[in-house]
Structure 1
């Protein structure tokens, strides 16, 4: 049986919630994020994007590009409240829901009888209910698998809807940029470019063995993804793979001692986010820093538990990667699907 998968993605979620709650913001460039001095944007509306703004852009740079930008602080309580309502709408349609974040989810509607099992009409119904109950718009992608559904949801934003039917897959995928494929980040895109590959039809010319030779295990996924094939199922019990906290400092940290002090303040915040069940599934510790030149560094080491002592041991290893002061420090844990009590910290 052909699957019917819907990917729902709320449009510029945080900023849209702020626009909804303050109509005076409508028609103006709006972003949500940190202060102009040290912060970065979490998201921005489409008016702001016309100025070249995007998420993770330093707020100071964003204000230079768009001097009349309105930057609002994040209000997670408000965003979580809206997300809760939206998820309740999803679960009224189907129990097979895989949330990806507060504003994004996959739904498997293969066996849903609503609208005579028309996935496109079901997606329209979901969008309508979201707007009716929250006054927020969402974009939807409908396809036979997760890969294509997610790509489709991004095609007609904002407030868009796009359906890829089984018979349309070959035509759709032919001229699709490889950068749109799941798992293709900057490094993989750069490697593909070195092979003179920009579009899926070019990638299809490489054999499975060739892709595996160049990309290892991910080469197997690339072989199928560039043909519009994806065997991943919508997983309602999908477990979080990582938990982290980070802080951008009002003043740069100029020494290891200053970083250690900051680490000591971050660590308790991380512990409050890790449940007892998740603590039993920790597989790695992660540290990341951004220096004041916006160079980013990440360090990952295997460990079976979170420990301030472990993080403190790892901190000098990552700090020495840059000669510049530190503007951001983040710590986190990676989680395995099963309890793992065998691993110790490997430096």
Structure 2
């Protein structure tokens, strides 16, 4: 970020934030390490009706295959895809090598997962003149030393940097200067704002808000009245305001996956959905170097009441199937009315602990 001007509507010190996102990370590592896979559609996933896609190469994505998709659906979309079981220990080792490259430039690194991180390069160790040059150098080092590609976004804050990193994927770099923020945000669909999922997007469309520019016309009070505390967040993000800082070594508090159904369903019809969600959460949890102790089941009724049940077993779940069984057992602790239906289900893991510390406590 090379312009000393202000962004949004709030005068504050301009930070220089880079968001780096490895391109199709797991699949790219597999293609790098096995020349026979290069240029071919690779899907990183276990086969089976309950498995989900961990990653898909760009060759597979051309057929519509995406991360978190059911593996059986991916196979239907791309029958010639090569399925590779994930090797998370190898991916973690490569991720650590990427982190070493980041540390040459700044100590302010906030990893989001094995394949992406925020970097605050307002001051950088190598004395490079601009944040754009820092991002370009990092991408060159990743390519030259690890034979992998990464996309990067450069912006005055984390919110904008994350959007920017996705703008020219794969193997791209996109910069949003402070004076360009309003022009950049105005035409974007509101679904690009963090937290605006399909349900929220429909609610906004019902009040005539389809673009970020439409949202910016609404007053702070009106947004808070309609959406509570999140209304304030919408007000700020629509103006490019994000005060959140890059926090190094931020511990993972929870991992979860939710699904809002097209039509409300009874409790006893959720087994496959809960198993699918558990698989997604399990795969996401493997990216962490820590282990979760507590399993959470979340349900939202047709009249928007939220019910949660949790359980901390003597030993943490050791597989996606075990996680699913615990989540299904939590379903039995809910006693709905005979005609009660549900619009959303979610499975989560929390109460994370370091693996070494947990192992020690279990055998004391």
> How many residues were matched structurally?
297
Change (3 A) 1:116 1:133: closer
Partner of 2:79: 67
User: Shift of the alpha carbon at 1:59?
Assistant: 1.6
In the TM superposition, residue 67 of structure 1 has moved relative to its aligned partner by 1.1
From the superposition, tell whether residues 273 and 254 of structure 1 become closer, same or farther in structure 2 (CA, over 3 Å). Answer: farther
Aligned to 1:39, what secondary structure does the other structure show?
A: coil
Shift of 1:36: 4.1
Asked if the contact 2:105–2:125 (Cα under 8 Å) also holds between the matched residues in 1, the reply is no
Distance verdict in 2 for CA 1:171–1:51, change over 3 Å: same
How big is the alpha-carbon RMSD for the aligned residues of Structure 1 and Structure 2? 3.5
SS of equivalent residue, structure 1 residue 224: helix
Decide which moves more: 37-46 or 76-85.
Answer: 37-46
Contact 2:111 2:249 in 1 (8 A): no
Distance in 2 of aligned mates of 1:76 and 1:4 = 31
**Residue number among 311, 314, 328 corresponding to 2:330 in the alignment:** 314
Which residue of structure 1 aligns with residue 91 of structure 2?
79
Runs of 4+ in 1 over 4 A off after TM superposition: 253-256, 272-275, 308-313, 318-323, 328-331
| Corresponding residue of 1:342 | none
Scaled by the length of structure 2, the TM-score of the pair is 0.72
Structure 1 residues 113 and 73: CA distance shift in structure 2, 3 A: closer
Extract unaligned runs of 5+ from structure 2: 1-12, 258-267, 300-305, 316-325, 353-364
Deviations along 1:254-288, one digit per CA (max 9) or x if unpaired, are 999xx9xxx9xxx9xx9x9866xx87xxxx75137
- Structure 2 counterpart of 1:89, from 101, 106, 127: 101
Aligned to 2:297: 287
Unaligned runs of 5+ in 1: 246-252, 290-297, 336-347
Question: Which residue number corresponds to residue 130 of structure 1?
Answer: 142
Are 2:118 and 2:158, in contact at CA under 8 Å, matched by a contact in 1?
yes
1:213 to 225, 231, 236: 225
Distance 1:255 1:238 in 2: 34
Q: Which has the higher contact order (CA 8 A, sep 6+)?
A: 2
Q: Does 1:18 align with 2:30?
A: yes
User: Partner residue of 2:124?
Assistant: 112
Structure 1 residues 331, 17: closer, same or farther in 2, change over 3 A?
A: same
Instruction: State the alpha-carbon separation in 1 of the partners of residues 270 and 222 from structure 2.
Output: 46
Deviations 1:288-325 (A, max 9, x none): 79xxxxxxxx9634x7x8246997873304698999xx
